[in-house]
Amino acid sequence: MLNQLEAQIREADHQISGITAAELMRKTFPEPRWAVPNILTEGVNILAGKPKKGKSILALNLGISIPSGGLALGQIPVEKGAAIILALEDTERRLQGRLRQMLCGERAPASLHLFTHWPRMDAGGLELLEAKIQEIPDVRFVVIDTLQKFRKPMRNNGNLYSEDYEAVAQIKDIADRLGVCILLIHHLRKAQADDPFDTLSGSLGLTGGADGILVMENSKGNTILHVTGRDVEEAEYAIELDRQMLTWRLLGERSEVKTTSEQQLVYNTIKEASEALSPKEIADISGVKIGTVKKILSRFVSDQSIHRTTYGRYTIGEMI
């Protein structure tokens, strides 16, 4: 019994790695590899949204942008690299139709690899994924659509948090060791919450195990992409789906994107001005009627998009 215990301790010693604070501070580390700068970094990320709201379309958009070294969301330059998409809720026919619509006659990237069938992670799927990433040169981006189709089935008497966390942790281990971004497509629960990141279906084990979380949400006529993560600054972006090209594009930060063209004109007029403007000056420059301008200004002041000065003029900056 003692010999067995000693053997276990020796084995544990081989698995323990420590470092002093002074040694750690002398080390240099490479910057995280971004799949999409400021939005998707290497590691495990979760993209969640309600069913049929465009999550898979966004993932496929990125699966085209990254292999071509183009622009993600029509705005963000990305570094070129191969991509793998496990489209486990799609058929080859549907993927072909979507690709044809997105590519608009351009050649399909040969370094985008698509799979509509894949074993679950507890049936060899995890090991197969690692082997495939290593087999394909320069993989930077992997999509698992959906996590529910890939993870092992939940046990009836299992601990939900533990099983959620373990599922993400096992995938994260591959992402970290191979230095790739793995994006897990997931759903939102029906119940609402003040914090959009609290609306993911499942337990906090999912968000606790992931490096980054993205949530797609409809709000006042816009689709908002909420982003947060360990190496990502929390942000909210307004995005829009071009249904003809089946492509999501970035409109800007949520605070700078308004729900109507008139609101956008008024906001842009104030933003681009070198000094605070009066309602009449805003109307003259933007071409929006003075009565409409005043209503829009009142709304913008209420949501703190702009500030009213003590002289009845309006600016983007702090009150003066």
Contact criterion met (CB below 8 Å) for 85 and 133: no
Given a cut of 70, the residues of the chain with pLDDT beneath it are 1-16, 158, 190-191, 220-221, 256-261, 317-320
What's the pLDDT at 153?
Answer: 86
* Pairwise CA distance, residues 36 & 54, whole Å: 18
Element housing 70 (H / E): none
The structure's pTM equals 0.77
Question: Please, where are the H alpha helices in the chain?
Answer: 2-15, 21-26, 55-68, 92-103, 125-135, 147-150, 160-178, 204-209, 261-272, 279-286, 290-302
Q: Which residues pair with 254 in a beta bridge?
A: none
- CA Rg value for the chain: 24
Residue 11 has a pLDDT of: 57
Q: Helix 290-302 to helix 261-272 angle, to the nearest 10 degrees?
A: 80
pLDDT score recorded for residue 319: 41
CA distances from 193 to 54, 60, 211, 220, 254 (A): 21, 28, 21, 17, 19
Predicted local distance difference test score (pLDDT) of residue 200 = 77
The reported pLDDT for the residue numbered 15 is: 64
